[in-house]
């Protein structure tokens, strides 16, 4: 039984090769952006060049985007001579496409083995387990949501019904989806007295008031940050270079990417290193954006335009993501786009 899923991502960066910086570098004057009827332009070196050639070059670097048409639309594309693939539209907003058999089995195995040779490392936060063991959650003193019995008693029956209302409390505190095992651990760790009547378990107001609510609140936050099942991401990964590797499989992969995206080869070869990811049982990556919107970070330049840029000083700028499955598993392994083609979704709702 296959219990680990391998896939890789290729992130193509947003870019404009003829931006202001490049114009300065090449010595092109601003008049190039709006040339008159003359067929030539002057540079800072007073060298005459053909504006039509420049305009043709700029057109070649435009960011192409396939028209999704409609969900279920099928088109055939040729990625190698004499070999066609079906490209199926899965969503229109954003445009999402599926291409089956994009890689041959031996090519998938090659990339997978290469990733293992380089060495995958954990994508999760490293926290000293001994520190967590020694943490005393009884020392916290805080008044707030977790100590508000009425807020947690959703059905107003005077008790905290298990496990439903305790699960809801954890979700409201830190968007956690607790399992029954998690509930049992909380009951044990905080020595909660549970009452059972006719098979229904609950916590009375008196017993709930005996719990250190601030410690419980802190514990739930720690679960989200440290428990592999509840962290935003639980996987292993490695980043592999795609440039001048001498690897024929990687070279062929990039050639196909140029054809399927219809982007200029310099844009494609300016991509980030490919990211190979391994998901073991319970592995996941919660819903997220691959790129950061300029409207949310108006004063932040793109990280790939800076040397040593960090998340504190720049934003991730990506134009598209190519995701390729390298193997199959007997259960799980899906990639979901929860708000694709959802007319009711707004980015403001997501932020809230």
pLDDT in tens, 242-278: 877 889 999 999 999 999 999 998 888 888 899 999 9
**36 within domain boundaries:** no
Maximum Cα–Cα distance for the chain, whole Å?
92
Give the residue-averaged pLDDT of 280-291.
84
Q: Indicate whether 298 pLDDT > 70.
A: yes
Q: What integer pLDDT is reported at residue 220 of this predicted model?
A: 87
pLDDT tier, 351 (very low <50, low <70, confident <90, very high otherwise):
low
Percent of the chain with pLDDT over 90: 37
- With H, G, I as helix, E, B as strand and everything else as coil, classify residue 107: helix
- Alpha helices for 232-299 (secondary structure H): 248-261, 265-268
Distances (CA, A) of 276 to 33, 96, 114: 40, 20, 10
Among 53-62, 150-159, 218-227, 304-313, which is the least confidently predicted range?
A: 53-62
CA contacts within 13 A on the Cβ side of 334: 6
Which pair of structure tokens corresponds to residue 291? Answer: 């790129």
pLDDT at 349: 67
pTM to 2 decimal places: 0.69
Query: Given a cut of 60, is residue 304 above it in pLDDT?
Result: yes
Q: Is residue 31 part of a domain?
A: no
Q: What is the mean pLDDT of residues 321-336?
A: 89
Residues 252 and 315 in one domain: yes
Q: How does pLDDT run across 124-172, given as a tens digit for each residue?
A: 544 444 444 545 544 444 456 777 899 899 999 999 999 999 999 888 8
Say yes or no: 144 and 272 in one domain.
no
Please provide the average confidence, as pLDDT, over all residues in the chain. 79
Instruction: Looking at the structure, tell me whether residues 236 and 217 fall in a common domain.
Output: no
Question: What's the pLDDT score for residue 92?
Answer: 96
In a domain, 278, yes or no: yes
Any domain includes 327:
yes
Q: What pLDDT score does 144 carry?
A: 64
HSE-up of residue 271 (Cα within 13 Å, Cβ side):
27
Q: 163 and 183 in contact (C-beta within 8 Å)?
A: yes
State the Cα–Cα distance between residues 21 and 19, nearest whole angstrom: 6
**Which three-class secondary structure state does DSSP give residue 313?**
coil
Q: Positive or negative, the Cα torsion across 140, 143, 145, 149?
A: positive
Residue-level pLDDT at 139: 45
Residues 220 and 236 in one domain: no
Task: Give the burial class of 165: count Cβ atoms within 10 A of its Cβ; 0-12 exposed, 13-18 middle, 19 or more buried.
Answer: middle
Residues 160 and 186 in one domain: yes
87 and 221, same structural domain? no
Phi/psi for 315 (5° steps) reads -125, 155
| Span 304-308, average pLDDT | 77
Q: Give the tens place of pLDDT for each residue, 86-113.
A: 999 999 999 999 999 999 999 999 999 9
306 assigned to some structural domain: yes
Please say which residue of 207, 226, 245 terminates a domain: 226
Residue 285 main-chain phi, psi, to 5 deg: -145, 115
| CB environment 305-335: b (16+ within 10 A), e (fewer) | eeeebeeeebbbbbbbebebebeeeeeebee
96 bridge partner residues: 91
Is the pLDDT reported for residue 73 higher than 90? Answer: yes
300 shares a domain with 329: yes
Which domain range does residue 280 map to? 2-12+59-125+232-350
- The number of distinct structural domains making up the chain is 2
Between 298 and 50, where is the model more confident? 298
Residues 154 and 254 in one domain: no
Where is the domain boundary, 180, 208, 226? 226
- Write down which residue in 226, 248, 267 finishes a domain: 226
Give the pair of three-digit tokens for residue 137. 């959650």
Could you tell me how far CA 170 lies from the centroid of its own chain?
24
- Check whether residue 113 and residue 158 sit in a common domain: no
What pLDDT score was predicted for residue 135? 53
Q: Are 7 and 121 contained in the same domain?
A: yes
The predicted structure's pLDDT at residue 277: 92
In this structure, the answer to whether residues 120 and 236 fall within a common structural domain is: yes
| Low-confidence winner among 39-53, 161-175, 245-259, 306-320 (lowest mean pLDDT) | 39-53
Other CB atoms closer than 10 Å to residue 191's CB: what's the count?
11
Among 1-10, 227-236, 259-268, the range scoring the smallest mean pLDDT is 1-10
Instruction: Tell me the CA distances in angstroms from 312 to 231, 272, 297, one per residue in order.
Output: 22, 20, 11
| Cα-based torsion angle of the residue sequence 114, 119, 120, 121 in order, rounded to the nearest 10 degrees | -160
Query: Are residue 333 and residue 193 in the same domain, yes or no?
Result: no
Under the banding of pLDDT at 50, 70 and 90, the label for residue 330 is confident
Residue 284 lies in a domain: yes
Task: Compute how many other C-beta atoms are within 10 angstroms of the C-beta atom of residue 291.
Answer: 16
Residue 80 lies in a domain: yes
Residue 35 lies in a domain: no
Q: Which residues of 10-23 are buried (b: 16+ CB within 10 A; e: fewer)?
A: bbbbbbeebeeeee
């Amino acid at each position: 039984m296959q219990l680990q899923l391998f896939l890789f991502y290729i992130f193509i960066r947003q870019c404009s090769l003829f931006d202001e910086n490049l114009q300065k570098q090449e010595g092109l004057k601003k008049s190039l952006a709006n040339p008159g009827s003359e067929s030539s332009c002057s540079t800072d070196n007073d060298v005459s060049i053909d504006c039509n050639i420049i305009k043709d070059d700029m057109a070649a670097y435009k960011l192409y985007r396939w028209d999704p048409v409609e969900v279920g639309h099928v088109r055939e594309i040729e990625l190698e001579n004499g070999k066609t693939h079906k490209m199926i539209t899965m969503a229109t907003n954003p445009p999402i496409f599926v291409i089956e058999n994009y890689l041959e089995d031996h090519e998938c195995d090659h990339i997978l083995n290469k990733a293992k040779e380089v060495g995958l490392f954990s994508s999760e936060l490293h926290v000293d387990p001994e520190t967590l063991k020694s943490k005393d959650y009884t020392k916290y003193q805080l008044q707030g949501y977790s100590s508000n019995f009425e807020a947690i008693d959703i059905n107003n029956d005077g008790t905290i019904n298990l496990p439903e209302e305790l699960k809801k409390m954890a979700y409201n505190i830190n968007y956690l989806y607790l399992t029954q095992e998690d509930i049992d651990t909380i009951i044990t760790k905080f020595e909660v007295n549970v009452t059972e009547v006719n098979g229904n378990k609950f916590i009375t107001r008196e017993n709930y008031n005996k719990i250190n609510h601030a410690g419980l609140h802190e514990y739930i936050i720690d679960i989200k940050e440290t428990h592999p099942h509840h962290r935003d991401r639980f996987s292993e990964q490695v980043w592999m270079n795609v440039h001048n590797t001498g690897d024929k499989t990687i070279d062929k992969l990039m050639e196909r990417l140029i054809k399927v995206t219809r982007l200029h080869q310099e844009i494609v070869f300016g991509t980030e290193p490919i990211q190979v990811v391994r998901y073991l049982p319970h592995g996941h990556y919660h819903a997220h954006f691959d790129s950061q919107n300029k409207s949310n970070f108006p004063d932040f330049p793109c990280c790939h335009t800076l040397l040593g840029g960090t998340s504190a000083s720049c934003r991730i700028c990506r134009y598209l993501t190519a995701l390729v499955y390298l193997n199959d598993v007997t259960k799980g392994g899906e990639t979901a786009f929860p708000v694709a083609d959802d007319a009711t979704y707004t980015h403001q709702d997501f932020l809230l």
